Homo-oligomer: A and B are copies of this chain.
Amino acid sequence: MQRYFINQNADSDQRFFITNNEDIHHIKNVMRNHVDNELILNFLDQRVFKCKITAISQDAIEVEPIQELEISTELPQNITICSGLIKADKYEWMLQKATELGASKFIAAEMDRSIVKLNQSKITKKIERWQKIIKEAAEQSYRLTIPSIDYISNLKTLYDNIDGYDYILIAYEDAAKDGEISQFKSVLQQLTQGENILVIFGPEGGLSADEVTLFASVGKQIGLGPRILRAETAPLYVLSAVSYQNELLG
């Protein structure tokens, strides 16, 4: 059954209105729903209900919650993926896959070696596009929340706002080349429910020495195995490993 997100907390005693235009179009024209059809609604408080469509109008789909579903599809930890701007198709592919794999937040950062640069005028449009990709991937993969995405023009901005993170990990190619394999697992093995982890990945050319130095005192450099992973692949390795360690090995 098709899933949609609504920006309100659940309440089984009231009806809700889906007002997002893309959702309305999808419900009416793509899925060809009519009154009495059912859909799944993810509420802001991460509760999920099977709902019945009670009215369809131009600007809203009215639904009535009929059954709460016990669903738990969020990673035990909140993983923020901060990665350097890379070619658009690669970055968008990473956003989609990392959302499927449970990332809770993205930070698109212009880094020293980013070949791709965004001029201020383009950023708003880009973020809208990225949010759409993330939202669709979140629906498709049964996520309970839609990961957020921010853009920063300099890693210093991030450094000045890292107080909220329990762990800061820097995926540094040289660490991988040096055969560093203990830092990442030791962090994953000590994670507890609800912790916030920031993982920083460079662009195609990798992180600069300055960028690595910037986080040296607050972060751990991690190697992700012996193979050299592309900028858009490394975040997927990290998220898969977090899931394996904490959801399967648990």
Q: Which residues of A pack against B, CB within 8 Å?
A: 72-73, 93, 97, 100-102, 140-143, 181-182, 184-185, 224-230, 233, 236-237, 240-241, 243-245, 247-250
Contact = CB atoms under 8 A, between A and B. Distances in A.
B72 A226 contact: yes
Contact of A101 (B140, B185, B229, B247): B229
A241 B93 CA distance: 20
**Can you tell how many copies of this chain the complex includes?**
2
Contacts of A230: 97, 100, 140-141
B248 A243 contact: no
Given A184-B248, A247-B181, A100 B140 contact: no
Contacts of A241: 240-241, 243-244, 248
A158 to B, nearest CB: 25
Nearest to A249: B185
21 contacts: A73-B227, A73-B228, A97-B236, A100-B228, A101-B227, A101-B229, A101-B237, A102-B225, A141-B228, A142-B226, A142-B228, A184-B248, A225-B243, A225-B244, A225-B247, A225-B248, A226-B247, A237-B240, A237-B244, A241-B244, A241-B248
Given A227-B142, A228-B142, A233-B97, A185 B248 contact: yes
Given A101-B227, A181-B247, A227-B243, 5 more contacts: A97-B233, A100-B228, A100-B230, A141-B230, A142-B227
Contact of A227 (B141, B225, B236): B141
Contacts of A243: 224-225, 227, 237, 241
Nearest to A226: B73
